[in-house]
């Protein structure tokens, strides 16, 4: 991938690393990755969008890769990450851009469109549907779902809240944890097994992780996996976990946008074997209210969580169709 351009921009004093491909006068398409990933998760889309004449940009979210990793947990609040996206658009000297996000990148994309519709020509979310800021505190909702007693499971986001706890688990075997996380959330895993999203109290998430067998996970080559592993060997995963540790702060800060719809053209892509898409069926059913300018909602069959990597050709086609309609 030696035809890519890399650079960094400043956002409120924090370095944001980005990779781009395509003509500088093309329509900017800013892509935001999720957990635990990198700009590299958009490697297929960088090529497809760039070849189509768009200016394709994939960022490292703060805390990942070559972007800054502030020490303070509150530096990873949603409003700060929205500011990073706007800083990238400003750097491109563009009036607006198409914003695309996957996994945690989807809420960042959705909220960028919600808070700054003047700078977003269209927004696409992969895996995580837009639901808007609700009335119940997130941790309260998770505990109502799983129970809050000594014998009840912890929802994984709740498990991630204690700084250092899950980091210590990961450091026992970073390569095995990452490989198991990627495979267990993919469409190839055994989805009849206990879900990795529920962690028995007193246990670790890694106990729920499955490992791929021979010939499995072909969508992530050894070279691809080694890229991710190298990034996290260098940076650790605290920046990624700190995003989860802001969900209560986000709920408070986004109160003025309670139940607000997104008013720019939108696209949603999910997988029928993807946990966040399955859990988000109620949100998808409300798209006529929350995404009034939705152009398409596509659920890919036999697709797990890593949408743009497991099914790159179909995602490329859907994104190209969406972006072409915005020109």
Q: What is the pLDDT of residues 123-135, one digit of tens each?
A: 999 999 999 998 9
Q: What is the pLDDT of residues 214-241, one digit of tens each?
A: 999 999 999 999 999 999 999 999 999 9
Q: What is the pLDDT of residue 1?
A: 62
Is the pLDDT at 151 greater than 80? The verdict is: no
> Are the CB atoms for 163 and 73 separated by under 8 Å?
yes
Percent of the chain with pLDDT over 70: 99
Q: Which of 60, 103, 153, 316 is catalytic?
A: 103
Q: If we measure between CA atoms, which residue out of 102, 96, 38 comes closest to residue 67?
A: 38
14 is catalytic: no
Spatial CB neighbours of 55, under 8 Å, sequence gap ≥ 6: 20, 22, 23, 24, 25, 26, 27, 28, 29, 92
91 is catalytic: no
Q: What is the pLDDT of residue 81?
A: 98
> Are the CB atoms for 100 and 32 separated by under 8 Å?
yes
* CA–CA separation, 88 and 97 (whole Å): 10
Q: Provide mean pLDDT across the span 86-91.
A: 97
Q: If we measure between CA atoms, which residue out of 27, 157, 16, 134 comes closest to residue 81?
A: 16
Phi and psi, residue 47, nearest 5°: -70, -45
Is the pLDDT at 154 greater than 80? The verdict is: yes
Where do runs of H (alpha helix) occur along the chain? Answer: 43-51, 78-91, 105-115, 138-146, 156-159, 165-171, 174-184, 222-235, 238-244, 247-253, 275-279, 281-285, 287-290, 307-310, 312-324
* CA–CA separation, 17 and 24 (whole Å): 17
Q: What is the pLDDT of residue 118?
A: 98
* CA–CA separation, 188 and 200 (whole Å): 24
Q: Where are the domains of the chain?
A: 5-135+247-324, 138-244
Count CB atoms within 10 A of the CB of residue 154.
22
Average pLDDT of every residue of the chain: 96
Question: Would you list the DSSP string of 159-184?
Answer: HTTSTTHHHHHHHT-HHHHHHHHHHH
pTM of the entire predicted model = 0.97
> Are the CB atoms for 228 and 34 separated by under 8 Å?
no
Q: What is the pLDDT of residue 147?
A: 79
Q: What is the pLDDT of residue 39?
A: 98
> CA separation (Å) from 7 to 155, 183, 245?
37, 31, 28
Q: What is the pLDDT of residues 244-302, one digit of tens each?
A: 999 999 999 999 999 999 999 999 999 999 999 999 999 999 999 999 999 999 999 99
Q: Provide mean pLDDT across the span 24-50.
A: 98
Q: Which of 17, 96, 305, 316 is catalytic?
A: 305
Q: Provide mean pLDDT across the span 294-323.
A: 98
Give the position of tokens 């009840």.
Answer: 152
Q: Provide mean pLDDT across the span 61-75.
A: 98
> Are the CB atoms for 183 and 190 separated by under 8 Å?
no
Q: What is the pLDDT of residue 149?
A: 75
* CA–CA separation, 312 and 306 (whole Å): 10
Is the pLDDT at 95 greater than 90? The verdict is: yes
CATH of 5-135+247-324, one of 3.40.50.300, 3.50.7.10, 3.40.1280.10, 3.40.50.1820: 3.40.50.1820
């Amino acid at each position: 991938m030696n035809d890519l351009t890399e650079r960094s921009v400043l956002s409120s004093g924090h370095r944001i690393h980005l990779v781009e491909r395509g003509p500088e006068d093309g329509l900017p398409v800013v892509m935001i990755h999720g957990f635990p990933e990198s700009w590299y998760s958009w490697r297929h889309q960088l090529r497809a969008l760039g070849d189509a004449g768009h200016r394709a940009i994939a960022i490292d979210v703060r805390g990942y890769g070559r972007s800054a990793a502030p020490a303070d947990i509150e530096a990873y609040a949603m409003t700060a990450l929205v500011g990073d996206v706007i800083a990238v658009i400003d750097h491109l000297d563009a009036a607006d851009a198409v914003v695309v996000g996957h996994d945690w990148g989807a809420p960042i994309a959705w909220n960028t469109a919600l808070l700054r519709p003047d700078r977003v020509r269209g927004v696409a979310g992969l895996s995580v549907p837009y639901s808007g800021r609700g009335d119940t505190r997130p941790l309260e909702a998770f505990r109502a779902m799983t129970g809050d007693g000594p014998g009840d499971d912890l929802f994984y986001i709740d498990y991630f809240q204690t700084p250092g706890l899950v980091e210590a688990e990961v450091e026992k075997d970073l390569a095995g944890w990452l490989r198991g996380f990627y495979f267990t959330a993919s469409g190839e895993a055994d989805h009849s097994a206990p879900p990795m999203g529920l962690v028995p109290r007193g246990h670790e998430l890694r106990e729920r992780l499955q490992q791929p067998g021979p010939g499995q996970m072909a969508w992530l080559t050894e070279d691809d996996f080694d890229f991710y592993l190298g990034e996290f060997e260098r940076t650790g995963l605290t920046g990624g976990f700190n995003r989860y540790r802001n969900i209560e702060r986000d709920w408070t800060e986004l109160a003025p946008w309670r139940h607000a719809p997104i008013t720019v053209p939108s696209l949603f892509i999910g997988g029928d074997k993807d946990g966040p898409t399955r859990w988000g069926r109620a949100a998808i059913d409300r798209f006529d209210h929350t995404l009034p300018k939705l152009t398409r909602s596509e659920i890919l069959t036999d697709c797990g969580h890593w949408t743009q990597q497991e099914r790159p050709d179909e995602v490329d086609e859907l994104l190209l169709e969406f972006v072409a309609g915005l020109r």
